[in-house]
Structure 1
């Protein structure tokens, strides 16, 4: 009995080769930690908000690789399109797109149209694309539009930034739906450049992880889903502190460290993560990577 594991993980180990376990480790993992649950609840409130002249919006801010996109992708997955039986209408409660690499109205509409598998012509004017986007989002009863990597707005000139932010305002007003913008801390600056828009967005910060109970709960959750035959005791002080220090408090880095350590543990046959294993994996912390580039 592998009591340290979730029953599904134990079953998987019993029915998988080492290679299959390693392939599984490389796939994205979702842990429903407290902070994520709080933000998901907030997103549900926005999705279900009654139609209003001034809809509430959310700005999700956090460091790069700290789980923002994974959190939003998970929420979008949980809100897939469905057909209402009584009316046979197609409903798409939540739509998520990525902000274009620079503030460009046409490219933004393209991103929406592509995500809806709706063809467009490159010669089509921005106004026509806008009309089609509004028509489609209305027809699909979209209640929440999520725009990831909103800090890309800052890659354009001030006039382009202003135009793009006006597009967001216009869509929110016209569709009477809530917007969720997500990005790095620069995203906050992007929204702040328009005072009217800034007033409409409630900022939520996805903080880095610290050496506390919440971090230990996260590690305990990871241990339940890592397909290793022996317990690793990740919550032990000596192990948890190494993981936190190496990851620099970023969720994506924690996940990568545990992936590499688990692969090493399977390949060497030790089947658990220890201080020794963590010292042998080929991993460079984010700040060290930056130094390497500047060198």
Structure 2
């Protein structure tokens, strides 16, 4: 039998994947989560953390827990900060079961949702947890926006927070805002339930894509990656062209469309594709873009690292025109205009 060859990333590329740098966004988010815990000492609250995929939410959660969580019981592994990651198609009953399983408790088969909810409340009250984090919360939202399942989930979260006095951080993509903002249902009785959750909710933490016009943030991100490459240079001899230049930032923004996770992937792949001793320049980054972005998130046919300045500017204009934020701004302007003419 012929064994399949295993392909591994270069050691330097693997090391790059592990490296992190502090972002202003993460520092602000960290403080808001700490505020959630502090405020909940008086009365437990809920806060949402949401944003598009690959904007750094998961890395933020990992780093926050690593920095702030203390192990209460070495044998059970229970921490004072508990992270529960939901899978697709979760019902309110599944939601309670997922929390119990993460706490090392296997629910009995056939147990009703209300009983599981009470069990979650009792366990949280008795083990001294300071924060419950629910990741991938969007998996608990049904396809039908006016579903009673959504109302039941919101009511379950409200009851857990009220009775256990443990704050909850709900994390996921932007659609989870529907769960707490009372904008998914027309039925008054459902709205009433959702308002009860909304009244227990602090303003959300939002992870957005980076705008090229946000020069301070773009510069800070490139400085962060520069520090990482300085470490890689000392360890592996890897070098890269000046990342803080306007030309580099424009090309990196265009290749990633402002999504920091995509920036990291392109840089990682550039390390993988560079020959030993070769400086990572626009030609190497262009190859990385072709390998990672072209045909995936970028279907424009324009490689930001190898195209002309004219084509690069066209690509930037197109991204700005059709970005989610641009569409939202246009919608808000249209609404304002309608109000003025009404």
TM-score (norm 1): 0.80
Asked if the contact 1:48–1:143 (Cα under 8 Å) also holds between the matched residues in 2, the reply is: no
Q: What value does the CA root-mean-square deviation take over the aligned residues? A: 2.6
Task: Report if the CA contact (8 A) 1:100-1:107 is conserved.
Answer: no
The answer to whether residue 166 in structure 2 is matched with residue 163 in structure 1 is no
Equivalent-residue separation in structure 2 for 1:196 and 1:124 (angstroms): 26
Structure with max Cα Rg: 2
Q: Deviations over 1:197-249 (max 9, x none)?
A: 22332122212112312222212212222424224311122222111111111
Query: Is 2:98 the partner of 1:111?
Result: yes
Shift of 1:289: 6.3
d(CA) in 1 for partners of 2:19 and 2:113? 39
**Quick check: 2:270–2:285 contact (8 Å CA) kept in 1?**
yes
Q: Choose from 54, 60, 67 the match for 2:49.
A: 60
Moved more, 157-166 or 135-144: 135-144
1:12-31 → structure 2 map (5 Å cutoff): 19-25=10-16, 27-31=17-21
Q: Which of 16, 19, 34 lines up with 1:44 in the alignment?
A: 34
- Is it true that 1:247 corresponds to 2:250 in the alignment? no
Counterpart of 2:107 in 1: which secondary structure? coil
Counterparts of 2:155 and 2:115, CA distance in 1: 17
How many residues end up aligned between the 2 structures?
265
Q: 2:287 aligns with which of 275, 280, 286?
A: 280
User: 1:94-129: per-residue Cα shift (whole Å, max 9, x none)?
Assistant: 212123423412211222122222223333333332
- Check whether the contact 1:153–1:190 (CA below 8 A) recurs between aligned residues: no
In 2: Cα distance, 1:149 partner to 1:160 partner: 17
SS at match of 2:141: helix
* Equivalent residue number for residue 177 of structure 1: 166
SS at match of 1:32: coil
Counterpart-to-counterpart distance in 2, 1:141 and 1:47: 13
Q: Are 1:92 and 2:79 counterparts?
A: yes
Deviation readout 1:239-273 (Å, 9 max, x if unpaired):
221111111111111111111112122xx124432
Relative distance call for 1:137 and 1:205 in structure 2 (3 A) is: same
**Which structure is richer in relative contact order (CA contacts within 8 A, separation 6 or more)?**
1
Aligned to 1:199: 199
Q: Which has the higher strand share?
A: 1
Query: C-alpha separation between the residues in 2 aligned to 1:68 and 1:24?
Result: 20
> For 1:128, what is the secondary structure of its paired residue?
helix
Give TM-score scaled by structure 2 length. 0.70
**Whole-angstrom CA distance in 1 between matches of 2:129 and 2:249:** 42
> Residues 83, 60 of structure 1: CA spacing in aligned structure 2 closer, same or farther, 3 A cutoff?
closer
Given the alignment of the two structures, is residue 225 of structure 1 paired with residue 228 of structure 2, yes or no? yes
Cα distance in 1 for partners of 2:57, 2:10 equals 30
Q: Tell me the distance in 1 between the aligned counterparts of 2:91 and 2:162.
A: 19
Structure 2 counterpart of 1:139: 126
Aligned counterpart, 1:186: 175
| CA distance in 2 between partners of 1:32 and 1:179 (Å) | 24
| Residue pair 2:86, 2:135 contacting (<8 A) in 1 also | yes
Distance in 2 separating the partners of 1:100 and 1:283:
27
DSSP 3-state at the match of 1:187: helix
Structure 1: where are the runs of 5+ without partners? 1-17, 85-89
Stretches of structure 2 that go unaligned for 5 or more consecutive residues are: 1-8, 183-193, 302-342
